[in-house]
Chain A
Amino acid sequence: MEKLLNILNKIKPNIDFSKEQNLIEGGILTSFDIIRLVAELNSEFDIEITPLYILPENFKSAETILKLIEKLQEED
């Protein structure tokens, strides 16, 4: 989780990602942020988030993102 929070803060500083539950609808992560984030996650966690997983519900909060990472790591 800490690693993920660090990545998130690298993309958007000054936001407490452990608390935010509405990253997409709240406009905290913009479209280019998501693409940057996916690229970072792919390289940092050695996973491949395909377009089928790049959906709003997977990027709502740090928790949902972490769940996605764990799921993809298991599949690997």
Chain B
Amino acid sequence: MKNILEQFEQMAERFKDKTLFAEVEKSITTSEFKKRCQQLGTEIAKLGLFNQPVMVIDNRDIKTLISMFAVVYSGNHYVLLDGSSPIERLNKICAIIEPKLMLCQEKTLGTANELIKDRQCKILQIENCFNEIDLSLLNNIRQRSVSTDCVYILFTSGSTGVPKGTVITHANLLSYLPWFINCFNIDENTIFASQTPFYFSASVSDLFSSLFTGATFNIIPKSYFSFPIQLVRFLNERQVNTIYWVPSALCLVANIDLFKYEKPKFLKKVMFIGEVMPNKQLNYWRNALPDVEFANLFGPTETVDVCTYYKVNRPFRDDETLPIGVACDNAETFIIDQNGKEVTSQNTIGELYVRAPYVASGYYKNDEQTKKAFVQNPLQNNYPEIVYRTGDLVMLNRFGEYEYCGRVDFQIKHKGYRIELGEIERVAGAIENINSVVAIFDKEADKIVLIYTGKIKKEEFYSTLTTKLPNYMLPEILIKTANLPINANGKIDRKLLTNSYKQLI
């Protein structure tokens, strides 16, 4: 198989009338979805573009999904733009892509028009594009396509402030998805409720596994996370049995003690990725839903979605670290220390490397960053083999599982010690009555700053910290606040805090 659409079409033959995607008020069957994608795909193909990036403005709905896969039908690759992102960031992405075509809906036409100002870019408003399917045109395109063609470019916020676009191919997805589908027994009986935005790599596993297996993919509106009771009711109404969310969404449920009021009745599997899942909040879920399987997934956009995973199989105290587990099938991971040597002993920190057929091709029009992260396998020099440097620090625990120790970029030198800010957060976050905590480093002032939310006084918190952290890791500045700022991906905005924490004092 060379193209993800072949996998989708095989599934579509078996489950023609099954609901594939559902919003709150609308849903679409597999065959209807295929038809829509082919109709819109025909219109795009008629423009004569092949293997070109096509921008899609994300409106988190079925129309957005149709747009994405219509682009793939047309032999091109989609680039999602978050319609609610600041126009400045979207412009940065457009400047890198220099798109020739942008797909929008009636609702997002205004954003689209603003973005293509001063660019040679055509807009298609998709509502006008559902006409006749030209099957011979689409078949020709399929003939021409190869499995190393790009399916999508997904932008992550580069630490330099310039977004990086990861190029993911058909071959990447076709080699990655079997792991996810087999590992979690995803099939036509799986009912997902999707939380993560489509422009975030964590949406790839549940979305594409639905396309491949016929699972039903429910789109949870963002607003349900502000009104969590609606969220549980939605899960029960749709009989959702599998969720794949970011930890902050799971923590929200735990922190407000939502299950005291209403519990999900059909849930069987809970997976999470994107941040460290604190055991305190996970224990809340485990206690409330003892029959549910939990899995901690770990991985960057550059390995499609996940590269290591841990199925939670033993009890953890609130202050213990949840491992990120072992490599996924068809991937190998290893640790390289500062001297470029492989680490095989336990409890020694080094950078995690991944080799797998689903390591991305690189970053779009960014040779410099590509060369830094996609490198020759340091363990063999006999033939060319590109592996991915994750920039994540990990170590092996006594069970032979990886534990996450923070980002290479969050490793600081302070008072002569090498310190992982992530370690401070882990210890501090496990203290009773702490809801969330973030550690940052003010380089200029040479001070560790700890910012937290929770029902605990600063003095008490600090004195507890002194019993749990070595002196050199203790924060010099402790700030209590009602809220921590969140970035576009729903993660705590460290950059903003580092630049502006003084305003919170």
* Shortest CB distance A37–B (Å): 9
Give the residues from 34 to 76 in chain A that come closer than 8 angstroms, CB to CB, to chain B.
34-36, 39-40, 43-44, 50-52, 54-56, 59
| Complexed CA–CA distance, A39 and B227 (Å) | 14
A5 within 8 A of B: no
A31 to B248, CA, bound (A): 13
Q: Which secondary structure dominates chain A's binding surface?
A: helix
Complex formed: what's the CA distance from A12 to B224 in Å?
A: 20
Among residues of B, the one whose C-beta sits closest to the C-beta of A31 is B226
Q: What residues of A have a CB within 8 angstroms of the CB of B482 in the complex? A: 36, 39-40, 43-44
Bound-state Cα–Cα, A72 to B225, Å:
22
Do residues A30 and B261 form an inter-chain contact, with CB atoms below 8 A?
A: no
CB of B413 within 8 Å of the partner chain:
no
Complex-state Cα separation, A11 to B230, whole angstroms:
23
Interface residues of A, count at CB 8 A:
20
Q: Which residue of A lies closest to B455 (CB)?
A: A43
CA distance A35 to B255 in the complex (A): 11
Whether B228 and A54, one on each chain, are in contact in the complex, defined by CB atoms closer than 8 angstroms, is yes
A contact residues around B262 at 8 Å (CB): 51
A52 to B260, CA, bound (A): 10
Asked whether B109 is an interface residue with its Cβ less than 8 Å from the other chain, the reply is no
B326 to chain A, nearest CB (A): 34
Q: Within 8 Å CB of A31, what residues of B?
A: 222-226
Chain A residues lying within 8 Å of B257, measured Cβ to Cβ, are 50-51
Q: In angstroms, how far is the closest chain B Cβ from the Cβ of A45?
A: 12
Q: Is B256 close to A, CB under 8 A? A: yes
B377 at the interface (CB under 8 A from A): no
Output the least CB separation between A66 and chain B (Å).
18
Interface positions of B from 246 to 279, Cβ below 8 Å from A:
252, 256-258, 261-262
Residues of B close to A40: CB separation below 8 A: 482-483
**Contacts A24-B223, A31-B223, A31-B226 known; A52 to B483 CB distance under 8 Å?**
no
- CA–CA, A50 to B256, complex, Å? 7
Sample of 10 more A-B contacts, CB < 8 Å, known A36-B482, A55-B230: A24-B223, A34-B227, A35-B226, A50-B257, A50-B261, A51-B229, A51-B258, A51-B262, A54-B227, A56-B223
| The 3 A-B residue pairs with the shortest CB-CB distance in the complex, in nearest-first order | A34-B226, A31-B226, A36-B483
Q: 10 A-B pairs, CB-CB below 8 angstroms?
A: A31-B222, A31-B224, A33-B226, A34-B226, A34-B227, A44-B482, A50-B256, A50-B257, A51-B257, A55-B229
Using a CB–CB cutoff of 8 Å, the interface residues on chain A facing chain B are 24, 29-36, 39-40, 43-44, 50-52, 54-56, 59
Binding site for A on B (CB under 8 A): 84, 222-230, 252, 256-258, 261-262, 453, 482-483, 486, 490
